[in-house]
Amino acid sequence: MVDVEWRSVRRALGAFLVDGFFTNGSRLAKLHPLARPERHGVELVADVAYGASGRSEHLLDVYRPIDGAAHDGLRARHARSGARPVVLYVHGGGFRILSKESHFLMALAFARRGYVVFNINYRLAPKHPYPAAIEDCADAYAWVVENAARFGGDPSRILLAGESAGANLVTSMTVAAAYDRPEPYARRILETGIVPKATIPACGILQVSDVERLARRRRISPFILDRLLEVSTVYLPLGSAAGACELADPLCIIERSGPPARALPPFFIPCGTKDPLLDDTRRLGKALATIGVRADVRIYPGEPHAFHALMWRPHARKCWAETYAFLDEVLD
């Protein structure tokens, strides 16, 4: 009994510390003068509704290059008929914390390169467990397909990107765009007729239903294991029937389903060797290669979870450079 109580206290304290670190860190980062989009030739259109609910969870921010401004690495071929390729970015945070505001840096990085970026909010657990997050992502996907052109984006060249829980969601969206799934929210994506040109699931948790497997494969500290267990306990509804939460495990769908009805796009899948989710990255690369899909798996020695957000680190800069090179090749 005492041990159970201690584990509960340890998990609550750990969650409090982690939540505060990421939330407050992102707020401090936004105060830096270089965080202002206009300093990078980028315009921010904030708080655009992608649904009719009026909720803050159903808002997105648009980051788009300012015409005539210089952009890092932008090439003329990216602006076919004046329309730029689109990035739909989905933030991480274990399905329960963070937001589009906390991930402004990711959106800004893609916009600096010349992409029109739609950086979305979605409903968070535990108040809104599965399938709320993927339902919102499906609505955002359909909205971006319909509205990207209004912001100078090319809806036929949509790229999906996200990290951690966001990597799970963009992989699920890609599955929904290519496989004929029964879920109504998956069908909303399929019925757009648009398959992403590329998907970038960085350091993703891709099988939420069994996070303990990660500790069975490598030694994970109790603090980190608590954070992983939190993901499944808050995101998946208690008592879910077998098969009721399949799109929470997009990796398993790809592993067992074989080639889809529509061809899956190329994947760029980065992760660090010190990331407890490394095994999911390797499994996804193997599953995609098995069905003939291009999967560029990039493993960065010594790097922790979501290391590419720490842009002063050499491996983070290398990861972004390799991401851009991959996208340049795919869009060609």
- Which domains, and CATH codes, for the chain? 2-331 (3.40.50.1820)
10-residue mean pLDDT series, the chain (332 residues): 48 47 55 76 98 94 85 53 91 97 97 98 97 98 98 98 98 98 97 98 97 88 92 89 87 95 98 97 98 98 97 97 98 88
> Measured at the alpha carbon of residue 52, what is the angle toward residues 49 and 57, in degrees to the nearest 5?
55
CB 176 within 8 A of CB 185: yes
C-alpha span between 77 and 35 (Å, rounded): 27
| Amino acid 269: pLDDT | 98
C-alpha span between 39 and 33 (Å, rounded): 8
Return all residues near 87 (Cβ < 8 A) that are at least 6 apart: 107, 110, 115, 116, 117, 118, 158, 159, 160, 161
Count CB neighbours of 3 within 10 A: 7
For tokens 């010594």, name the residue.
302
How far is C-alpha 95 from the chain's CA centre? 11
Return all residues near 326 (Cβ < 8 A) that are at least 6 apart: 198, 266, 268, 296
Taking alpha carbons only, the member of 108, 89, 77 closest to residue 170 is: 89
Burial of 25 (0-12, 13-18, 19+ CB in 10 A): exposed
Taking alpha carbons only, the member of 105, 34, 112, 117 closest to residue 69 is: 112
Q: Which two tokens stand for residue 178?
A: 């290519």
- Helix %, strand %, coil % of the chain (to 5): 50, 15, 35
Instruction: Report the SS3 class of residue 200.
Output: strand
| Amino acid 238: pLDDT | 80
C-alpha span between 240 and 253 (Å, rounded): 18
| Amino acid 332: pLDDT | 80
Full-model pTM: 0.90
C-alpha span between 322 and 155 (Å, rounded): 24
H or E element, residue 110: helix 104-113
C-alpha span between 8 and 86 (Å, rounded): 43
| Amino acid 68: pLDDT | 65
| Amino acid 76: pLDDT | 46
| Amino acid 17: pLDDT | 47
